């Protein structure tokens, strides 16, 4: 038990003409070490939700417990929470500002009050974790390619050694190779260092491949919360809220409809291929 949200509500610009109920009665629990996928189309509240997790936005009502303690109680050490819950924003490369990659990655640890040596050690470790080549450590972050910049930005958060890593669409705007590289790296981090990962994404295919659990947001509420196969079973409802199951899920449903005896709770290509071969053999 790591993060727990109880009846969380958030209302934008309360009391004005632009008032918007962005989060409605959110109850969630994210246990330690899980890889959670958070989906929802633009404006569903998912970005607002993750900004609550490290206290950047304060809920209008409700409670958020981190390791059993309500972060809204008087005197809660917010800085400590931000050290523990690392948040990587969308297009994080836009936050780079230092003269070179190394110094930029040191920014987080420096703010934590660590010694310069310790900062550097942490930065080195983080840069290695995101797989950036050593020749770039002294380069200006602005000279790097889009994918490399993004790695640096993620390293900047990892260098703070968070226990929970929240990523808001870390693959937006990257090409397929860049995307796969980053996601594989995150999955590797998750296995390697016992990190809780919360991945916000539009891509069902990506989420299906990596997440243990999927949370679907719609209009500020949690619509589904479960294992990928469970959530994607609702593929028709998902479509109504501007989302979709992975393409293979549709193929399996269509095949079943055509009379081929296949399981439909399939979300990845490899599973699908195996299941189809299996079903065809059974038939013979």
Partner 1 sequence: MIRDITIGQYYPAKSILHRLDPRVKLVSTLLYLVSLFLFKSIPGYIVATLFLAVVIRLSKVPFSYIVKGLKPVIMLLMITVIFNLFLTRDGEVLFHAWIFTITEGGLQTAVYMAVRLIYLIIGSSLMTFTTTPNELTDGIEKLLHPLNKIHVPVHEVAMIMSIALRFIPILLEETDKIMKAQIARGADLENGNIIQRAKNMIPILVPLFVSAFRRANDLAMAMEARCYRGGDGRTKMKPLHYEKRDRIAYVVVIVYVIAVFVIGRYVPLHVWVF
Partner 2 sequence: MCGIYQNGIAHFFYLKDRQSISLSGFLEETIAAKMGIALAKKEMITYNRKRVNVKAGWRRLFMGMVQTERLVYEYEKRDEEGNVIGMSRAIDGVDIDVKEGQFIAILGHNGSGKSTLAKHMNAILVPTEGTMWVDGKDTKDPENLWEVRQSAGMVFQNPDNQIIGTVVEEDVGFGPENLGVPTDEIWSRVEESLKAVGMIEYRHHSPNKLSGGQKQRVAIAGVVAMEPKCIVLDEPTAMLDPVGRKEVLKTVQKLREKKHVTVILITHYMEEVVDADQVYVMDHGHVVMKGSPREVFAQVDKLKEYRLDVPQVTVLSDLLRKKGLEIPAGILKKEELVDAICRLN
Q: List residues near partner 2 by CB under 8 A.
A: 41-43, 145-147, 172-178, 202-203, 205, 242-244, 246-248, 250-251, 254-255, 258-260, 269-270, 272-273, 276-277, 280, 283
What span, in angstroms and rounded, lies between the C-alpha atoms of 162 and 224? Answer: 27
Q: Pick the closer one to partner 2 by CB: 68 or 259.
A: 259
**With CB cut-offs between 5 and 8 Å by kind, which of partner 1, partner 2, none does residue 259 bind?**
partner 2
**With CB cut-offs between 5 and 8 Å by kind, which of partner 1, partner 2, none does residue 83 bind?**
partner 1
**With CB cut-offs between 5 and 8 Å by kind, which of partner 2, partner 1, none does residue 37 bind?**
none
Q: Pick the closer one to partner 2 by CB: 73 or 281.
A: 281
Q: Pick the closer one to partner 2 by CB: 77 or 242.
A: 242
Footprint of partner 1 on 143-162 (CB under 8 A): 156-157, 160
3-state helix/strand/coil string of the chain: CCEEEEEEEEEECCCCCCCEEEEEEEEEEECCCCEEEEECCCCCCHHHHHHHHCCCCCCCEEEEEECCEECCCCCCCHHHHHHHEEEECCCHHHHCCCCCHHHHHHHHHHHCCCCHHHHHHHHHHHHHHCCCCHHHCCCCHHHCCHHHHHHHHHHHHHCCCCCEEEEECCCCCCCHHHHHHHHHHHHHHHHHHCCEEEEECCCHHHHHHHCCEEEEEECCEEEEEECHHHHHCCHHHHHHCCCCCCHHHHHHHHHHHCCCCCCCCCCCHHHHHHHHHHHHHHHC
Q: Which two tokens stand for residue 235?
A: 């593929």
**With CB cut-offs between 5 and 8 Å by kind, which of partner 2, partner 1, none does residue 9 bind?**
none
| 247 lies in the site for partner 1, by CB under 8 A | no
CB of 163 to partner 1, least distance (A): 14
The CA-atom distances, in angstroms, between 26 and each of 9, 180, 196, 221 are 7, 31, 20, 6
Footprint of partner 1 on 58-117 (CB under 8 A): 79, 82-83, 86-87, 89, 92, 94-97, 107-108, 111-112
Q: Pick the closer one to partner 2 by CB: 41 or 133.
A: 41
Q: Pick the closer one to partner 2 by CB: 44 or 196.
A: 44
**With CB cut-offs between 5 and 8 Å by kind, which of partner 1, partner 2, none does residue 160 bind?**
partner 1
**Interface mask toward partner 1 for 20-59; x: CB under 8 A:** -------------------------------x--x-x---
Nearest in space to 194 (alpha carbons), one of 34, 66, 76: 34
Footprint on this chain of partner 1 (rule: CB under 8 A): 13, 16-17, 51, 54, 56, 79, 82-83, 86-87, 89, 92, 94-97, 107-108, 111-112, 142, 156-157, 160
């Amino acid at each position: 038990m790591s993060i727990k949200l109880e009846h969380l509500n958030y209302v934008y610009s309360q009391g004005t003409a632009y008032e918007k109920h962005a989060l409605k009665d959110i109850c969630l629990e994210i246990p330690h070490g899980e890889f959670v996928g958070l989906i929802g189309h633009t404006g569903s509240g998912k970005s607002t939700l993750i900004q609550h997790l490290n206290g950047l936005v304060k809920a209008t009502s409700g409670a958020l417990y981190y390791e059993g303690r309500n972060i809204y109680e008087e005197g809660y050490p917010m800085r400590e929470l931000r050290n523990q819950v690392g948040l990587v924003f969308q297009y994080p490369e836009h936050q780079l500002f230092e003269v070179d990659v190394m110094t930029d990655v040191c920014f987080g640890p420096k703010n934590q009050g660590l010694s310069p040596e310790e900062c550097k050690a942490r930065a080195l470790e983080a840069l290695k974790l995101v797989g950036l080549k050593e020749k770039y450590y002294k380069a200006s972050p602005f000279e790097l390619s889009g994918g490399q910049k993004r790695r640096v930005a993620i390293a900047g958060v990892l260098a703070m050694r968070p226990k929970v890593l929240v990523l808001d669409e870390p693959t937006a705007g990257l090409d397929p190779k860049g995307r796969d590289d980053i996601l594989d790296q995150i999955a590797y981090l998750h296995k390697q260092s016992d990190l809780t990962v919360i991945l916000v994404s539009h891509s069902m295919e990506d989420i299906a491949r990596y997440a243990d659990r999927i949370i679907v947001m719609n209009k500020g509420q949690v619509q589904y919360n479960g294992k990928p196969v469970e959530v994607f079973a609702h593929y028709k409802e998902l479509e109504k809220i501007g989302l979709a199951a992975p393409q293979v899920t549709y193929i399996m449903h269509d095949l079943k409809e055509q009379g081929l005896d296949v399981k439909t709770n399939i979300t990845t290509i490899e599973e699908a291929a195996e299941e189809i071969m299996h079903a065809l053999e059974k038939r013979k």
